[in-house]
Chain A
Amino acid sequence: MLEITNLHARLADGREILKGVDLTVKAGEVHAIMGPNGSGKSTLAGVLAGRPGYEVTAGSVAYEGRDLLALAPDERAREGLFLAFQYPVEIPGVNNMYFLRAALNAVRRQRGEAELDAGQFLKAVRAKLKLLDIGEDLLQRPVNVGFSGGEKKRNEIFQMAMLEPKLAILDETDSGLDIDALRVVANGVNKLRSPERAAILITHYQRLLDYVVPDVVHVLSHGRIVRSGDKSLATELECRGYAFLDDAAAE
């Protein structure tokens, strides 16, 4: 589904953040990417979603056989890629439901499905809210405005559940969450798991992985993937910290 080869990317100020990332994600898999602050985790998520401000200097990303980097951010989204933001943006004046219906219908058009009218949309919303155990109170407010940190993350997961992406990338969606919110996030990912879909969980902590068991765990350090393994790698990191990576690199 996703094949990242030798990806190099830098910021507008010229600092190189990604220095040759290789990663293959197959349909049906959940991958976790862990790593210390500044290792390039969020840059990787940003480059995959098409966030402005990064320049890819080498390498390639194939998504379902297409050149992902050639697509505009909205084309990527309509093709089924979803980024749960680390810092969801507050948009005053734009109603959350109105926004989500426009987004869902944009995605549905691309999939060749009929657009949902207001009534059908509301029905779909209620079903997802129930599935995820999220309250209705967020719906009538402007997008993320005045939401607590936990509410913003729940809103991201709710959007993900509504849009049903093929490839979901969660950028530290678990950080700063209490245990209930963490369960909502985990539940959202688990409900989405299927042989046709895949997810990349970018996380700083092993905690989320207690609820969503990944198929593969990668460690990103200084812009490259330095270790890959199964879930036990996450546990090892939790016990030993990231410092051992540098020891390993020195060996």
Chain B
Amino acid sequence: MSDIRTGYIEAFQKQRAKSREAARRAAIARFGELGLPTRRAENWRFTNLRPLEQRLFPPAPAGTVPAATLPPLYRLGVPSHRFVLVNGRFAPALSDMGDLPLGVSLRPLAESAPALAPALDAPFLRESNPFLALNAAFFEDGFDLSMTDVVAGEQPSPPPELDRPIEILHLAVAANPVSLHTRNRLCIPPGRRCTIVETFAGSGPYWTNAVLEIAIGDGAALRHIVLQDEGKEAVHLGHRRIRLGAGARYDGFTLALGSQLSRQDTIVTIEGERAECLLNGAYLLRGSQEATIATLIDHAAPGSATREVFKGVVADRAHGVFQGKIVVRQAAQKTDAHQLNKNLLLGRQAVVDTKPELEIYADDVKCSHGAAIGDLDENALFYLRARGLTAAEARRMLIDAFAGEAIDLVADGAARSYLRRHLERWLAAREE
């Protein structure tokens, strides 16, 4: 494992990135101190990182975007502003940003990074997450969405809701092992609303190490839908940090279907009063897939609400992990937070670890959490079969219903059908 650590340090020495040099050096030094996490670290206890321990994924070479086409499978199917990254870099040929409304900026982070440099690195190096340090050392690009409150001068105020959803597609094409480190930013200023559909997909032996920072201003709202459908050999680490202002609303949904090993960390900090955090999702795993959903929702202000539901379907020899923590600080009175994790375990060798956690320091709160692991309902299976459906069709219908109920939590119609299509595709592939 120390070879792997050295491998990334050596790869860093060879890289030619010129921007933010001091920050990058500090980041790789931090990675050198930390190394890869071990199972002794509580936060990484359940996640089997073997694919990252066994193989070095050198950063994708700088400045090149491999030729790629946009798979129709990953088109949302409604008019949108589309931003495509290939191997971690903006791919203008595949992107179609359309006419962005005045005051809305969607551009590659590579363009804005120099101006943002200090803000980009500071929070991550203080933490003991080596993947954040590696990201800080290697990232060169990503997407950067920002909006202004009102365009300067006599422009009329912008409408609160962005005219179309924003589609972000992270595509990977790898013949040899590469790592793709992107830094992405979303800033929704007070009073504005938008919908973002983010998809991760690709083929070959690659490692996605994506970091996304989201700031939602007072009274602003973001619907954020993520489809993780990475290639079979891929490793996916997605790290999201979300800050919510007063009366702000984050409505997030993740559907995890792909990659050999995946882990999605979502850290939400509720900084303002009366904010709302909806954090939902589903993971469907088969073969020997390994996936962790880790969430931390930190209620630091009073009167806010959290609704969190994650559903897992874990088949064959797959391993699913849900680690969900809700913290209610002393100041966060009148917090209303509920968390639920339900799993279907469909193979004798399939494993689920679920660890829901509440940490409450305020005394006037309504909080609950729950977890369940079970098999398909025998009575329901018999009922369906007694009407003529084969055992396989009946099982498929019940799995579809179980995961579909989670997807029904997605408020945006186009995004909901998009995820439904991918769920159906997963179920169809299962029958082979």
> In the complex, A93→B384 CA distance in Å?
13
Nearest CB in chain A to that of B390: its residue: A74
Q: Is the CB of A52 within 8 A of B388?
A: no
Q: Is the CB of A163 within 8 A of B385?
A: no
Q: Which residues of B contact A78 (CB under 8 A)?
A: 388
Q: Which residues of A contact B394 (CB under 8 A)?
A: 74
Q: Which of B377, B379, B389, B404 contacts A103 (CB 8 A)?
A: B389
Q: Is the CB of B385 within 8 A of A99?
A: no
Q: Give min CB distance, B400 to chain A, whole Å.
A: 8
Produce 1/0 per residue, B361-386, CB < 8 A to A: 00000000000000001111011111
Q: Which 7 A-B pairs have the closest CB atoms?
A: A93-B401, A103-B387, A106-B388, A77-B388, A89-B383, A74-B385, A73-B385
Q: Which residues of B contact A93 (CB under 8 A)?
A: 400-402, 404-405
Q: Is the CB of A99 within 8 A of B388?
A: no
Q: Give min CB distance, B402 to chain A, whole Å.
A: 6
Q: Which residues of B contact A83 (CB under 8 A)?
A: 386
Q: Is the CB of B387 within 8 A of A51?
A: no
Q: Give min CB distance, A11 to chain B, whole Å.
A: 15
Q: Is the CB of B386 within 8 A of A49?
A: yes
Q: Is the CB of B391 within 8 A of A72?
A: yes
Q: Please count how many residues in chain B sit with their CB below 8 Å of the partner chain's CB atoms.
A: 23
Q: Which residues of B contact A88 (CB under 8 A)?
A: 383
Produce 1/0 per residue, A120-142, CB < 8 A to B: 00000000000000000000001
Q: Which residues of B contact A76 (CB under 8 A)?
A: 386
Q: Give min CB distance, A101 to chain B, whole Å.
A: 11
> In the complex, A163→B401 CA distance in Å?
23
Nearest CB in chain B to that of A105: its residue: B388
Q: Is the CB of B397 within 8 A of A103?
A: no
Q: Which residues of B contact A142 (CB under 8 A)?
A: 401
Q: Is the CB of B391 within 8 A of A74?
A: yes
> In the complex, A74→B405 CA distance in Å?
26
> In the complex, A93→B382 CA distance in Å?
16
- Contacts beyond the supplied A103-B387, A143-B383: 5 A-B pairs with Cβ under 8 Å: A72-B385, A74-B389, A74-B394, A89-B380, A106-B389
Q: Which residues of B contact A73 (CB under 8 A)?
A: 382, 385-386
> In the complex, A230→B386 CA distance in Å?
30
User: Which residue, A78, A110, A163, has most C-beta atoms of chain B within 10 A?
Assistant: A78
Q: Which residues of A contact B387 (CB under 8 A)?
A: 77, 99-100, 103, 106, 159, 163
Interface of B (DSSP majority class): helix
Q: Give min CB distance, A105 to chain B, whole Å.
A: 9
> In the complex, A25→B390 CA distance in Å?
27
Produce 1/0 per residue, A70-99, CB < 8 A to B: 001110111000110100111111100001
Within residues 161 to 183 of chain A, which ones have a CB less than 8 A from any CB in chain B?
A: 163
Interfacial residues, chain B to chain A (CB-CB below 8 A): 377-380, 382-391, 393-394, 397-398, 400-402, 404-405
Q: Is the CB of A103 within 8 A of B383?
A: no
Q: Give min CB distance, B384 to chain A, whole Å.
A: 7
Is A56 on the interface with B (CB-CB < 8 A)?
no
> In the complex, A90→B384 CA distance in Å?
11
Q: Give min CB distance, B302 to chain A, whole Å.
A: 35
Is A217 on the interface with B (CB-CB < 8 A)?
no
> In the complex, A91→B390 CA distance in Å?
17
A-B contacts, 26 listed (Cβ < 8 Å): A49-B386, A51-B382, A74-B385, A74-B386, A74-B389, A77-B386, A77-B387, A78-B388, A82-B386, A85-B386, A88-B383, A89-B379, A89-B380, A91-B377, A91-B383, A91-B384, A91-B401, A93-B401, A93-B405, A94-B397, A94-B398, A103-B388, A106-B388, A106-B389, A142-B401, A163-B388
> In the complex, A78→B385 CA distance in Å?
9
Q: Give min CB distance, B340 to chain A, whole Å.
A: 14
Q: Give min CB distance, A246 to chain B, whole Å.
A: 34
> In the complex, A82→B405 CA distance in Å?
29
Nearest CB in chain A to that of B383: its residue: A89
> In the complex, A110→B390 CA distance in Å?
12
Q: Give min CB distance, A73 to chain B, whole Å.
A: 4
> In the complex, A107→B385 CA distance in Å?
11
Q: Which residues of A contact B391 (CB under 8 A)?
A: 72, 74
> In the complex, A77→B405 CA distance in Å?
28
Q: Which residues of B contact A72 (CB under 8 A)?
A: 385, 391
Q: Which residues of B contact A49 (CB under 8 A)?
A: 386
Q: Give min CB distance, A80 to chain B, whole Å.
A: 10
> In the complex, A107→B389 CA distance in Å?
9
Q: Is the CB of B380 within 8 A of A91?
A: yes
Q: Which residues of B contact A94 (CB under 8 A)?
A: 397-398, 400-401
Q: Which residues of B contact A90 (CB under 8 A)?
A: 380
Is A50 on the interface with B (CB-CB < 8 A)?
yes
Q: Is the CB of A85 within 8 A of B388?
A: no
> In the complex, A76→B394 CA distance in Å?
15
Produce 1/0 per residue, A178-190, CB < 8 A to B: 0000000000000
Q: Which residues of A contact B397 (CB under 8 A)?
A: 94, 99, 102
Q: With A74-B389, A103-B389, A163-B388 in contact, do A52 and B402 touch (Cβ < 8 Å)? A: no
Q: With A89-B380, A91-B401 in contact, do A50 and B386 touch (Cβ < 8 Å)? A: yes
Nearest CB in chain B to that of A88: its residue: B383
> In the complex, A93→B376 CA distance in Å?
13
> In the complex, A103→B390 CA distance in Å?
10
> In the complex, A88→B384 CA distance in Å?
11
> In the complex, A90→B380 CA distance in Å?
7
Q: Is the CB of B385 within 8 A of A77?
A: yes
Q: Which residues of A contact B400 (CB under 8 A)?
A: 93-94
Q: Which residues of A contact B402 (CB under 8 A)?
A: 93
> In the complex, A200→B401 CA distance in Å?
33
Q: Which residues of A contact B380 (CB under 8 A)?
A: 89-91
Q: Which residues of B contact A92 (CB under 8 A)?
A: 401, 405
Q: Give min CB distance, A122 to chain B, whole Å.
A: 18
Q: Which residues of A contact B383 (CB under 8 A)?
A: 85, 88-89, 91, 143
> In the complex, A82→B387 CA distance in Å?
7
Q: Which of B384, B404, B405 contacts A99 (CB 8 A)?
A: B384
Nearest CB in chain A to that of B392: its residue: A74
